[in-house]
């Protein structure tokens, strides 16, 4: 063991399996058949068969190993994770935490946007020190005409978790905006708020190009209605003037968790030699994972149509505004704004829409003992969004400065807890980690790493709006991510023609580099983005883990059980 990961030397193949501790979701010990099973968050299930000459009950060394492993896999606090140790070992300038400065970002975004000589939007301090909403950013942007702090405080009472309508993006050349929030507390009494309506009207009036503000609810309409009479006493805006409601029919976190659990089950089953390949496509569709991707992308396309074709501003929310809202808002911005398709812009997008606006990374991933007590809060929301970004990248390969490897690296970093970026549930919690952990963007932006994440096919002049196809024929499984542990999988490397072209382009840009393999992996050494072969499942556990993926290439048959001669503690 190291402080970061577990090393397992296999007898049969001579390979070394490397698993970051925080990637392990469950440890299962079968004393009857001497098998230790590690169920991982990245879809792997690794079964280790103890040498039969050493009984499990008799081995003090093995008991010590299990005890130590559990301590590292389930830290009591996130402060016990490897991110804190990695900060001490990181000897590079750590400027990633300062990449997204909301005051500078919104100031630049809204520069010179005035009506009758007055700024249309302003930065409000109503949530300074997180007074009205601990899950919201401290710096929020609201219309100048509705910026009175007392009024905004009353709006926060009417919105779930105090998450009031706030600007997150403005069109690069037009007064069109995307704002986001949580659901209103309508309840069975059909409550209303004069202050909330005033704020919504001010948002509508900030865009003189359209008389209508579209209120986009990510949920199915029946769910929004159900929330009116449910324990949240929520609902949707049913009587706001000059607005139009749209429901996108995207299911909740529980449906996504179940869908990915089904996908994990299929991936494991397909690894087995007895699997009937003729059932693959039907069973993949039955997991509903691709269907959910299509719905999410279709919803984003609908919003972009309202912005680009109707020239209308859009307000997006779901229930609490930190899952589906983040997915849709970030997707729409990627499709419209070419800056956000650069490496720097993509990092800012994640910091803004996911970290600053309070996506609950800690609960959705479930790293510590404390958050594991809330299994219903776990869900692959962020991984699902990365999957939709991959779908865009696949359909528009010259429109993104970054490549698939960056997406995989980010997905792996979500689980291995090397960086502080995805720790905590909101900006307020994450402030504690800032001085004690490394930002993922500090690592990504190192010169020797950024080359591996750069897409040589990128055309900086490709600034058009992206209109992806959301048909079933064009939304496909992210194979280099989901199938990388399958020993029969052949990674989708670049063809020789494209590979030679990419190598030539990189050399012309002053980066001696040969495109020949996949870079990046959480299982590689902390100083190299190059991936390392990883072994894969041997037998299915009694219950499938709650999904959420990450990790590396597979090189070992899944049906192989490993005989461990020695559990090293070094």
pLDDT in tens, the chain (570 residues): 888 999 888 766 567 888 999 999 888 887 666 688 888 898 888 888 766 665 555 567 777 888 888 888 888 887 888 888 888 788 777 689 999 999 999 999 998 888 888 899 999 999 999 999 999 999 999 999 999 999 999 999 999 999 999 999 999 899 999 999 999 998 876 789 999 999 999 999 999 999 999 999 999 999 888 877 666 667 778 789 999 999 999 999 999 999 999 999 998 888 888 889 999 999 999 999 999 999 999 999 999 999 999 999 999 999 999 999 999 999 999 999 999 999 999 999 999 999 999 999 999 998 876 766 778 899 999 999 999 999 999 999 999 999 999 999 999 999 999 999 999 999 999 998 888 999 999 999 998 899 999 999 999 999 999 999 999 999 999 999 999 877 777 776 554 445 555 555 555 555 444 443 433 333 433 333 323 222 333 333 333 333 333 333 233 333 333 333 333 333
Q: Which residues are annotated as a binding site for substrate?
A: 252-253, 318-324
Contact 376, 261 (CB under 8 A): no
- CA-based nearest residue to 553, from 569, 538, 570, 531: 531
Q: Which domain holds residue 207?
A: 96-110+117-508
Provide the domain count of the chain: 1
Question: What does the alpha-carbon distance between residue 406 and residue 455 come to, in Å, rounded to a whole number?
Answer: 10
* pTM of the predicted structure, to 2 decimals: 0.85
Active-site annotation holds for 318? yes
Domain assignment present for residue 384? The answer is: yes
Q: Which two tokens stand for residue 439?
A: 């930002």
CA dihedral sign, ordered 134, 137, 138, 143: negative
Contact 9, 562 (CB under 8 A): no
Question: What does the alpha-carbon distance between residue 444 and residue 406 come to, in Å, rounded to a whole number?
Answer: 8
Question: What does the alpha-carbon distance between residue 359 and residue 180 come to, in Å, rounded to a whole number?
Answer: 13
Domain assignment present for residue 325? The answer is: yes
- CA triple 51-52-58, angle to 5 deg: 90
Domain assignment present for residue 486? The answer is: yes
Question: What does the alpha-carbon distance between residue 234 and residue 219 come to, in Å, rounded to a whole number?
Answer: 12
Domain assignment present for residue 168? The answer is: yes
Contact 289, 262 (CB under 8 A): yes
Domain assignment present for residue 358? The answer is: yes
Contact 144, 119 (CB under 8 A): yes
Q: Which of 40, 318, 355, 417 is catalytic?
A: 318
Domain assignment present for residue 103? The answer is: yes
Going by C-beta distance under 8 Å and a sequence separation of 6 or more, which residues neighbour residue 19? 5, 6, 8, 38, 40, 44, 46, 523, 534, 551
Question: Is residue 311 exposed (0-12), middle (13-18) or buried (19+ Cβ within 10 Å)?
Answer: middle
Q: Which residues are annotated as a binding site?
A: 252-253, 318-324
Question: What does the alpha-carbon distance between residue 111 and residue 27 come to, in Å, rounded to a whole number?
Answer: 54
Q: Which two tokens stand for residue 95?
A: 């400027």
- CA-based nearest residue to 306, from 167, 209, 432: 209
Q: Which two tokens stand for residue 49?
A: 């068969």
Domain assignment present for residue 31? The answer is: no
């Amino acid at each position: 063991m190291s402080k970061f990961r577990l090393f397992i030397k296999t007898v049969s193949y001579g390979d070394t399996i490397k698993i970051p501790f925080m990637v392990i979701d469950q440890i299962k010990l079968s004393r009857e058949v001497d098998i230790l099973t590690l169920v991982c968050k990245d879809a792997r299930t690794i079964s280790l068969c103890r040498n039969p000459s050493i009984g499990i009950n008799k081995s003090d060394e093995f008991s010590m190993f299990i005890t130590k492993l559990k301590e590292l896999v389930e830290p009591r606090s996130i402060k016990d994770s490897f991110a804190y140790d990695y900060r001490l070992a990181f000897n590079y300038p750590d400027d990633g935490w300062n990449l997204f400065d909301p005051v500078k970002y919104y100031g630049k975004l809204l520069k010179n946007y005035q009506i009758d000589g007055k700024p249309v939007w302003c930065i409000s301090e109503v949530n300074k020190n997180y007074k009205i909403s601990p899950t919201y950013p401290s710096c929020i942007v609201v219309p100048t005409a509705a910026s009175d702090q007392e009024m905004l405080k009353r709006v926060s009472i009417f919105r779930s978790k105090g998450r009031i309508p706030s600007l997150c993006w403005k069109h690069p050349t037009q007064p069109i905006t995307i704002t986001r929030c949580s659901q209103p507390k309508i309840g069975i009494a059909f409550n209303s708020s004069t202050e909330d309506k005033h704020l919504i009207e001010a948002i509508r009036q900030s865009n003189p190009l359209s008389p209508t503000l579209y209120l986009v609810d990510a949920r199915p309409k029946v769910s929004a209605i159900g929330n009116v009479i449910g324990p949240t006493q929520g609902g949707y805006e049913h009587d706001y003037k000059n607005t139009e409601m749209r429901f996108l029919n995207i299911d909740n976190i529980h449906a996504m968790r179940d869908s990915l659990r089904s996908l994990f089950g299929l991936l494991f089953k397909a690894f087995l030699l007895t699997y009937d390949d003729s059932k693959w496509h039907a069973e993949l569709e039955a997991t509903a994972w691709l269907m959910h991707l299509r719905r999410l992308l279709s919803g984003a396309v609908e919003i972009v149509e309202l912005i680009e074709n109707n020239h209308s501003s859009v307000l997006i929310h779901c229930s609490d505004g930190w899952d589906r809202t983040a997915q849709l808002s970030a997707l729409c911005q990627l499709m419209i704004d070419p800056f956000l398709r650069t490496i720097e812009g993509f990092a800012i997008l994640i910091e803004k829409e996911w970290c600053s606006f309070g996506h609950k990374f800690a609960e959705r991933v479930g790293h510590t003992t404390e958050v594991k007590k809330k299994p219903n809060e776990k869900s692959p929301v962020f991984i699902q969004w990365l999957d939709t970004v991959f779908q865009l990248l696949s359909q528009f390969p010259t429109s993104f400065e970054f490549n698939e490897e960056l997406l995989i690296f980010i997905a792996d970093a979500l689980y291995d807890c090397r960086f502080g970026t995805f720790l905590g549930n909101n900006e307020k919690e994450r402030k504690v980690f800032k001085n004690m952990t490394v930002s993922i963007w500090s690592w990504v932006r190192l010169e020797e790493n950024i080359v591996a994440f750069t897409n040589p096919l990128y055309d900086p002049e490709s600034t058009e709006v992206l209109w992806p196809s959301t048909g079933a024929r064009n939304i496909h499984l992210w194979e280099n991510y989901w199938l990388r542990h399958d020993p029969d999988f052949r990674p989708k490397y670049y063809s020789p023609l494209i590979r030679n072209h990419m190598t030539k382009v990189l050399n012309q840009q002053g980066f001696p580099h040969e495109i020949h393999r996949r870079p990046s992996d959480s299982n590689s050494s902390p100083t190299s983005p190059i991936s390392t072969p990883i072994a894969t499942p041997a037998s299915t556990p009694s219950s499938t883990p709650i999904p959420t993926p990450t990790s590396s290439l597979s090189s070992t048959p899944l049906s192989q059980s490993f005989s461990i001669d020695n559990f090293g503690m070094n």
